[in-house]
A and B are shown apart, each in its own frame.
Chain A
Amino acid sequence: NAGVTQTPKFRILKIGQSMTLQCAQDMNHNYMYWYRQDPGMGLKLIYYSVGAGITDKGEVPNGYNVSRSTTEYFPLRLELAAPSQTSVYFCASKFGAGDEKLFFGSGTQLSVL
């Protein structure tokens, strides 16, 4: 059982480049999340989705976009990368509203230079 799979694990971008962080889960979870983790700042919610076709903004959505066409996949798109987007990105999922346990992927470390 793979759980939550994130790719790539590491990436270096130049300022202004774009990329998509991939996230897939095989647990048939309805809810999926994108967080960024910065030193001393904890986990900040970027975007989340409660099902295919439904997404909403979190605390820090600027500079990012998401889509969710299927239950399994929840990609995060960075347009015009900026140094402030240097961070570790985590995808997470949970089954639904009555289930509180979050399952996290192993993260993508992104540097924007």
Chain B
Amino acid sequence: QQQVKQSPQSLIVQKGGISIINCAYENTAFDYFPWYQQFPGKGPALLIAIRPDVSEKKEGRFTISFNKSAKQFSLHIMDSQPGDSATYFCAASIRGYQKVTFGTGTKLQVIP
């Protein structure tokens, strides 16, 4: 019940295209859903996050869509750029709880 399933494992998108990464969870107690971005040789860094009281959150070219009934959430990267090439992790946690459960990661490559 603590799993977060992420797909696809890897993704190649042309510059200017839309990148979409999907995650699904089982534990309905999760109430915080962040996405982390990791560049090669670096640690993950928080990109954007959403709570289940809203269905969408947008920050610049990055949007999280959240479907509470389906227990799914996704990251959309609009107008994808080569600088967006990185590994993206979805995650889920319970407010006030110590642990964060991570997805398995998606390696995104944006080609010119």
A43 near B89 with CB under 8 A, answer yes
**Closest CB-CB distance, B38 to chain A, in whole Å?**
8
User: What number of residue pairs across chains A and B have CB atoms under 8 A from each other?
Assistant: 59
Interface residues of A, dominant DSSP = strand
Interface flag for B99 (CB, 8 Å): yes
Contact residues, B55-112 vs A (CB, 8 A):
89, 93, 95-100, 102-105
- Give the chain B neighbours of A107 by CB distance below 8 A: 41-43
Instruction: Report the separation of the CA atoms of residues A77 and B9 in the bound assembly, to the nearest whole angstrom.
Output: 31
A100 near B93 with CB under 8 A, answer yes
Which of A56, A90, A100 is B44 in contact with, Cβ under 8 Å?
A: A90
A104 near B43 with CB under 8 A, answer yes
List residues of chain B with CB under 8 Å of any chain A CB. Answer: 6, 9, 32, 34, 36, 41-46, 49, 89, 93, 95-100, 102-105
A-B contact pairs, 24 of them (CB 8 A): A4-B43, A33-B100, A35-B102, A40-B9, A41-B104, A42-B103, A42-B104, A43-B44, A56-B98, A90-B43, A97-B95, A97-B96, A97-B97, A97-B98, A100-B32, A101-B34, A102-B36, A102-B44, A104-B43, A104-B44, A104-B45, A106-B41, A106-B42, A106-B43
